Amino acid sequence: MEHRQPKETADAERRISVRKKRAVQYGRKTIRIQVADRQEFTISEDLLCSTSGFFQRRLQPKRKPFDEDTECSICKEKLEPGVNDLVYCTAHCGSNFHYNCIERWRTEKREARQKIKCPFCRHDWPENSNEIAVHENHDIRPDPFSIFIEWLYHSHIAVEFHLDGDELDETPEPQIKEFIDAYVLGIKLKSSMFCRDVLEALLETSEETSRYPGPDAIHAAYNNTTRGSVLRLALIQLYANAAEAHWFKEEEDNDYPREFLQDLTAVLLEKDPDDRKWGLAKMKAEFITEEAIAHEGFDNDDEPEEVYNPSEQEHENRGEEMGAQNNPIVVDS
């Protein structure tokens, strides 16, 4: 159950940002990810691995890290990920090349009746396969993974609220708890950029609708994060801003985690009354930062030492190509 503060008016509008579109290459290899309930998602392997350390380690463990300044070993031009199709040596060295450069290399070797080998390590270059591999991850639930896939291709968290007259409907979709579930998934997938955008969407949604996570959502957050988690800190601040006494007195709503109640009490006792309520801008400045998100443990031993992460501009360009809206909240009128 969620908590809601009364509002004199419910400001609901569709916010659209229009920018020039730019073609973005997602890579040629497509895979299927099978999650819980045997639901499958078809997705570009390169796109998935570029934003998830979890999948990068499992699907492309040999691939060398690269960025916009890395050069193709064949043409010596910059790789320009997100603009050019790229491939890498899966047989041995993990070196990255332009797809077109490798195709020319392969053509030259075939015409010369020579074996096709990696231009860098000289191991045999595997033949292209049209087979779409299926990777099972049954511990991932479909709903939060759907939010992740939507974000991956559109670079925003889309939230729609159905309207009933002039008032916001009592059952928005997705529920506030879905943000918590999506954030927890982002920790598992080791995608700090996704966690950041989900948290920003959660803060904006609470500000926009005066709805706040209830006990179930708080339990989900505390059960899946550790002390110092920026998600915990943000939830505590949301409650410090808006909590009302009856939220804790109603019988069906008083099952909060003990640790959360202790954290909230400490904040309320430590802060000056004039400083307890933070505006949206201050919460974003405090919580939506790389340093804050880093407390979720993305640098532990389960993650590769280096994983290519696209720049914010590249990630934004994905949304431009798909015609995505850049605001993390979309409210249908």
Residue ranges of alpha helices (H) inside the chain are 45-51, 53-59, 99-111, 142-154, 176-189, 192-209, 215-223, 230-242, 246-249, 258-270, 280-287, 290-293, 312-321
CA–CA distance, 301 with 313 (Å, rounded to integer): 29
* Helices (H) then strands (E): counts for the chain: 13, 9
Residue with tokens 């299927």, as numbered in its chain? 32
Q: Provide the 3-class DSSP secondary structure of residue 64.
A: coil
pLDDT at 131: 75
pLDDT at 128: 74
pLDDT at 155: 81
Q: Are 196 and 156 in contact (CB under 8 A)?
A: no
Token reading at 117: 């080998």
The CA-atom distances, in angstroms, between 58 and each of 48, 64, 98, 189, 312 are 11, 14, 23, 11, 24
pLDDT at 253: 56
pLDDT at 127: 81
Q: Provide the 3-class DSSP secondary structure of residue 260.
A: helix
CA–CA distance, 5 with 244 (Å, rounded to integer): 9
Q: pLDDT truncated to tens, each residue of the chain (333 aa)?
A: 566 655 443 343 333 333 333 445 567 788 999 999 999 999 999 999 989 999 999 999 999 988 878 899 899 999 888 788 889 999 899 999 999 999 999 999 999 999 999 999 999 998 876 778 899 999 999 999 999 999 998 888 865 554 444 454 444 444 788 999 999 999 999 999 999 999 999 999 888 888 888 889 999 999 999 998 999 999 999 998 888 877 777 656 568 899 999 999 998 887 776 666 788 888 888 888 888 887 787 765 444 333 334 444 444 444 444 333 333 333 332
pLDDT at 246: 79
pLDDT at 26: 66
**Which pTM does this prediction carry?**
0.77
